[in-house]
Amino acid sequence: MGDKGTLAGAFIDKLREAYDAEKQLTKGLKRLGRSAHAPALRTAFEAHLEETRGHHTRLEEAFGLLDTKVRNRHCDGIAGIMEEAKAITKRDLDAATMDACLIAVAQSAEHYEIAAYGTLVAWARRLGQEDVTDLLIKILEEEKEADETLSMLAEDEGVNQAAIETADEDERVDDTAPARKLEVKRSRKGIKAKRR
């Protein structure tokens, strides 16, 4: 299986990209877990890291079923998302905002994977690879569950709300800023008036 220029060949290439994506995500999820502040978010990243290792193993099993060499094909899409994740972890953000941004970038990765595995499942079915289809469906379902967990943490568990409240607190701490701006404006107008 895997003749170049055919759907079977494209399927193998996409499977190799998924294999590479899971490898990249193993490193990326470690970084996200270390950067997370909320214990529930850290736990979610750690749990999905274990699932990701399982995805890697399932993909190796799929290659075996297809009698195809296990190989990576660089996944540019996940590489870009992982670069974004790395940049976020280096930003100077308050804890709640950092967690909200980590969820956002993690969901970008999940959505990318959901699209990729959805395509792989459809192609495996069309190619009559039922055992491979079953393996890919399991991965796809876990990716969807990870995305739902992240949404729940952001909204139901209050990560996004905490980030908003932190911003509101920062504004209240510096609630003299508008008055100072007005003072500066008035003093500048006074200086201009004196110059005339």
How much is the pTM? 0.82
- Enclosing domain of residue 122: 7-160
Residue 47 resides in a domain? yes
Residue 180 resides in a domain? no
Region at 67 (left for phi over 0; alpha for psi -120 to 50; beta for the rest): left
d(CA 188, CA 193): 9
Residue 39 resides in a domain? yes
Residue segments in the chain with a per-residue pLDDT below the cut of 70:
1-2, 167-196
Residue 192 resides in a domain? no
Residue 173: its pLDDT value, please? 45
Residue 178: its pLDDT value, please? 47
For the stretch 182-194, pLDDT in tens is: 443 444 444 444 4
CATH number of the domain encompassing residue 67: 1.20.1260.10
Residue 118: its pLDDT value, please? 98
Residue 38 resides in a domain? yes
Residue 48 resides in a domain? yes
Residue 184 resides in a domain? no
Domain count for the chain? 1
Residue 104 resides in a domain? yes
For the stretch 20-32, pLDDT in tens is: 999 999 999 999 9
